Amino acid sequence: MRYLITGGAGFIGSHLAEKLLERGDQVVLLDNLSTGSMENIRHLKSSPQLEYHLDSIENRQLIAELVDESDVIVHLAAAVGVRLIVESPVRTIETNVNGTQMILEAAAKKRKLVLTASTSEVYGKSTQIPFREESDLVLGPTTKGRWSYAASKALDEFLALSYWKEKKVPVIVVRFFNTVGPRQTGRYGMVLPNFVKQALDNGTIDVYGDGKQSRCFCDVRDTVQAVIKLLDTERAIGEVINIGNTEEITIEGLAQRVKERTGSASKIAYIPYDKAYEPGFEDMMRRVPCVEKLEAITGFRPRTPLNEIIDRVASYLREKAALSARVVTGNLA
């Protein structure tokens, strides 16, 4: 099989590419490196089964060619991260909506299978815990830019499902819940790599808000396994499916756990949302997935414990720091 992965040099995309190549598939990556990195796929470049293009999702001609030559499209390219969303709302909306429409238009010509990535953010301020795929979405007002990402991804879902219903394009919509692991950066507000890096540096671990908000963190290996199983299952077509771990922890609890797992001497500081992001910033207090649908369709559910996830991220960041130190000193033997 030949897979096209948009956003393929990103965090999830690079791990997915790695796993598909391991099982003998052909993989084509498209990424403009706005949030992705060549470092994520450098170890894959020697594979004869890999092809990559450094270009934009908005290159209509290239998209048409790559989709036509592929059997399956995994559409991961998107503007992600709370900080990026707050700072660049126009880019967020245009990238997410225009990119998805372009992929679906190209796929519709020969009805290629498309898996499009959505997010737990679409549940917004809903208090119906755990979040189920058929639950109502409760977004904040349009005057709060923080909700533009959720709205754009919800529109992506509507687009994908409309192409399935009207044009019979086989689509799968997945809602990711805080996928974490090696290669993820804290550049745009990803909380776990930020906490781990701060802890390893023995700097202050910065908790935004009062830290009582809770999240569930899913190991990227589990996310990738779930995606592949869904792609291999006809029952997933036309469905919206949560992918996440159900182990819940408060953000202040996460900071304390990271401190303990890394043996850090860091202090935990609390920063008001207004200072961290923008005046009037809104957040959701809990975000917990129901993964019964995923398990019913694939027989799989993410189970990697949070302690193991933290240890993996810490190990990756330590190795990265050690490599950087050797580069600086010229001691790469």
Q: Are 148 and 94 in contact (CB under 8 A)?
A: no
In this prediction, residue 81 carries a pLDDT of: 60
Please determine, for residue 304, whether its predicted confidence score (pLDDT) is greater than 80: yes
Quote the pTM value: 0.93
Among the ranges given (12-26, 36-50, 71-85, 92-106), the one the predictor scored with the smallest mean pLDDT: 71-85
Question: In 3D, which of 324, 314, 34 has the Cα closest to residue 187?
Answer: 34
% of the chain at pLDDT higher than 70: 94
Residues 6+ apart with CB under 8 A from 72: 1, 2, 3, 4, 112, 113, 114, 115, 231
In this prediction, residue 233 carries a pLDDT of: 97
At residue 116's C-alpha, the angle toward residues 45 and 307, to 5°, is: 70
In this prediction, residue 13 carries a pLDDT of: 97
Look over the chain and give the mean of its residue pLDDT values, rounded to a whole number: 92
pLDDT 10s digits, 52-85: 999 998 899 999 999 999 999 999 987 666 666 6
What integer is the mean pLDDT of 35-48? 94
Kindly indicate whether the domain formed by 2-179+219-244+287-304 is annotated with CATH number 2.20.25.190.
no
Q: Are 323 and 317 in contact (CB under 8 A)?
A: no
Residue 108's alpha-carbon distances to 1, 4, 227, 247, in angstroms, are: 19, 15, 21, 38
What integer is the mean pLDDT of 157-165? 98
Give the active site residue among 149, 163, 208, 277. Answer: 149
Q: Where are the beta strands (DSSP E) in 178-223?
A: 179-180, 205-208, 214-216, 218-219
pLDDT 10s digits, 206-223: 999 999 999 999 999 999
In this prediction, residue 92 carries a pLDDT of: 77
pLDDT 10s digits, 127-148: 999 999 999 999 999 888 888 8
Please determine, for residue 332, whether its predicted confidence score (pLDDT) is greater than 60: no
Question: In 3D, which of 214, 225, 221, 103 has the Cα closest to residue 169?
Answer: 103
Amino acid at 131: F
- Dist CA 323 CA 245 (whole Å): 31
Instruction: Assess whether 149 carries a catalytic annotation.
Output: yes
Please determine, for residue 323, whether its predicted confidence score (pLDDT) is greater than 60: yes
